[in-house]
Structures are given as C-alpha cells and as structure tokens.
Amino acid sequence: MSESPKNSPLLTPLAASLPATVPFVGPEAQERATGQPFKARLGANESVFGPSPNAIRAMRQAVKDMWMYGDPESHDLRAALGKHLNVAMDEIVVGAGIDGLLDSLVRLTVTNGTPVVTSAGAYPTFNYHVKGYGGTLHTVAYTADHEDPDHLIAKAREVGAKLIYMSNPDNPMGTVHSANTIQRMIESVPEGCLLILDEAYIDLAPRGSAPALNTKNDRVIRMRTFSKGYGMAGARVGYAVGHASLIDAFNRVRNHFGMNRISQIGALAALADQDWLADVCDKVETSRQALYQIAEDNGLDALQSATNFVAIDCGGDGVFARAVLDNLVAQGIFVRMPFVAPQDCCIRISCGAPKDMTLVAKALPKALAAARAGTQNL
C-alpha cells in the first residue's frame, strides 16, 4: 500500500495520534499482490465446513428481502439466544461480530488514559479499540502458552484497570482453561473492573470449558460469535451477554440499524441447528488430529487446541517461523502466526477439510526446508 497522506487538520488530537496500522491484512490483499488465489484458506480461523444447510437455505430465501432494513433490536435472534442460554433478552446485545461489540464496549468504558489489561500477544483488534479510544494498555506474559488469569488479575489490581481482556479458548495459541479456573478468575475481578471474556471459540472447546452464565454479576461480560463454530464469519453476527445495566448501555452508542437483515435470519437458523454444530465439532477434531500428525511427521510440536486452529511450534525463533509462513503463503496456503514473542515461534493453521490437510502436509516440509536453507544463508 502507498504511504499514508498527511493528517487531515480536522482530526481530534486523539485521532491524529493514532497509527495508520490495521489489525490484520486480509487474504484477498495477499491474493491481489501475488495475482494467485490461495489453494487453501487456513489463516483466519474461518470454518471451511460452512454454516448449517438450514442457515444457507434461510439466507438464500431472505436475499429477496434485502430491500428492508434489519430489525434494529435483533428481537427474534435475541429471543432465541436468550432461550438457548437461559438468560433474559435484555441481558443480550447483538452486534457486527465480536469486533463491533468490542468497539462499542471500549467506547462506553475507556477514555484518555483509562488503564486496560490484556496478555502480550492476545487479540490485536481489542488493542486497536483500546488505543483508538485513548486507553492505556498494560500487558502480562503468557504462561506455558496459556493466558494467565492470576497474572491478569494481579496486573489489573496493580494498575487499577477498568477492563481485563481474556479469551477462553485463547487465540492465537488455541489453549483453554477449565470452567473452574475461569470461574475463580471471575470471582477475583476487582471492584470497578470488568472482565471481557471472549468466548469466540467456546463452541469448539471441550464441554466444561465455560463456567455457567451469571448475568447478576456485573464484573464480567461474555462475548460469542456465529463466525467460528457456526461458520458464518462473512455474516458479521456476534453477541455479548452480561448484566442488564451494561448491556443496556450499548443502546446509547451502537449503530442501531447496522445489522444485515439476512445475517440475522441466518444466525437464527444456525442456532436452531445444534446437530450441525456438533457435526462441525467432529470435523474440527478430525482436522486437529491431522494437524498434530503433520507437525509430528515434521519433527515439530503442536499445541493441543480447543479451537478450530492449531499452533505449531516451528522450532526456531520468530524470524524462522515467519520464513516458514512466508513460504507456505508462496505455495498458496494462507496461514497466520502470533504477533508477539515468544509465541511467535509458532505458525497458526486453521482446521480444514481433508483436501486442505493434504495440501498442508505436502507444503510444510518444503516450507521448513526453505526456511532452514534461508536461515543458513543469513
């Protein structure tokens, strides 16, 4: 991309101070750069298994109604989610993916200098929003490839944080804590602080990874999505569950008419097809096993994953892993990797269909050989 033009004089001091970086570059930009479509799209933890056929059918039928705005209250979807989760409708807000909900939540709670705690190398889009509203990020290290609840809580107490971000299962490492560990973390959130528990991947995790929802507790908000297990990343439907006083506040800032009409309809149909979700979980498990095996076949360690991706330790440093990744990308395999050391010794490969796994199995040895040769040439 070309160099950014100079700052518009109209920007607020905060906006003028923000970098022009973006959280992620899309695979389409890489395809345009190389002029080649990817053979396997395994970088953004999308679900190649797609949405429920019922959801696809419902969305196809709904296309003809695209002339109408979506329901600004997402009433039917919130009602169905409330029933599914056994919480009240006014304890649920629907938004344009977890990204959109994080934007609204950070806007509601963070202003210049507000202290916020996350893990070094956790979800960059959360950091983007915190910086975007002027907050101050404090980070703690991962412990053994897991986000560390005790360290996050301790740091929050130390800096007087208003927000703690924690994903369970974790992205980008795929590791998970038990419901008991997370429940203890929730109970230790300091007064005046909110834990954002990002459960984007919870549908794909072992049962017992999510503590019971308790919307009476105003120190935690849970965020979930139709982008991962439900296979509808392109539809942009996420939701947050929490105390009614906090959920209600979203209505003061959110884009009320921002929800796509057929996405609402698709999500409703997807939620109703829990058998499909169970089937996707089986397929994801098969693919995880294939990725573990591919790692082993190449003499590498793969992390046990509770998500639809597997982090594979390439056995070197971040520069080496980047070289492996670049070569995979050059071979037409879209993958990504953690941004921050020491996790950046890994590459992160999304689960896929058997044909995707075959491509990875074929490409990885070449990528490793090329990276080793390149490193030796340095």
Our CB check for a copy of itself shows the closer of 277 and 371 to be: 277
Q: Provide the β-strand partners of residue 302.
A: 312
Q: Choose the stretch contacting a copy of itself; rule: CB under 8 A; options: 22-30, 205-213, 318-326, 351-359.
A: 22-30
206 binds a copy of itself per the rule CB under 8 A: no
Q: What is the DSSP letter of 50?
A: -
Give me 44's structure tokens.
């953004």
Q: Choose the stretch contacting a copy of itself; rule: CB under 8 A; options: 92-100, 139-147, 168-176, 356-364.
A: 92-100
Q: Choose the stretch contacting a copy of itself; rule: CB under 8 A; options: 1-9, 140-148, 309-317, 351-359.
A: 1-9
Tell me, what amino acid is at 11? L
Give me 68's structure tokens.
């109408």
Cα separation, 80 vs 168, whole angstroms: 24
48 binds a copy of itself per the rule CB under 8 A: yes
273 binds a copy of itself per the rule CB under 8 A: no
Residue that is written with structure tokens 């977890």 in the block: 98
Q: Choose the stretch contacting a copy of itself; rule: CB under 8 A; options: 207-215, 262-270, 285-293, 313-321.
A: 262-270
Inter-residue contact 242 to 88 (CB < 8 Å): no
Which residue in the set 103, 147, 199, 356 belongs to the binding site for a copy of itself (CB under 8 A)? 103
Inter-residue contact 130 to 110 (CB < 8 Å): yes
28 binds a copy of itself per the rule CB under 8 A: yes
362 binds a copy of itself per the rule CB under 8 A: no
Residues 6+ apart with CB under 8 A from 127: 23, 118, 137
Our CB check for a copy of itself shows the closer of 59 and 324 to be: 59
Which residue in the set 40, 81, 93, 110 belongs to the binding site for a copy of itself (CB under 8 A)? 110
Report 290-329 residues binding a copy of itself (CB under 8 A).
none
Tell me, what amino acid is at 33? A
Which residue in the set 42, 93, 99, 312 belongs to the binding site for a copy of itself (CB under 8 A)? 99
For helices 318-330 and 354-377, give the axis angle rounded to 10 degrees.
130
Report 137-196 residues binding a copy of itself (CB under 8 A).
162, 192, 194
Q: What is the DSSP letter of 62?
A: H
Q: How far is the CB of 197 from a copy of itself (least distance, A)?
A: 15
235 binds a copy of itself per the rule CB under 8 A: yes
215 binds a copy of itself per the rule CB under 8 A: no
Our CB check for a copy of itself shows the closer of 138 and 243 to be: 243
Which residue in the set 118, 127, 167, 227 belongs to the binding site for a copy of itself (CB under 8 A)? 227
Q: How far is the CB of 143 from a copy of itself (least distance, A)?
A: 27
Cα separation, 18 vs 13, whole angstroms: 9
Give me 307's structure tokens.
């998500």
Sheet holding 301-302, edge to edge: 301-302, 309-313, 346-350
Which residue in the set 37, 206, 208, 234 belongs to the binding site for a copy of itself (CB under 8 A)? 234
Helix, coil or strand: residue 242: coil
Question: How many CB atoms within 10 Å of residue 7?
Answer: 12
Residue that is written with structure tokens 């006083």 in the block: 245
Question: How many CB atoms within 10 Å of residue 69?
Answer: 12
Q: Choose the stretch contacting a copy of itself; rule: CB under 8 A; options: 177-185, 243-251, 292-300, 366-374.
A: 243-251
- Per DSSP bridges, beta strands 220-225 and 194-198 are parallel
Which residue in the set 42, 81, 87, 100 belongs to the binding site for a copy of itself (CB under 8 A)? 100
Report 49-88 residues binding a copy of itself (CB under 8 A).
49-51, 55-56, 59-60, 63-73, 75
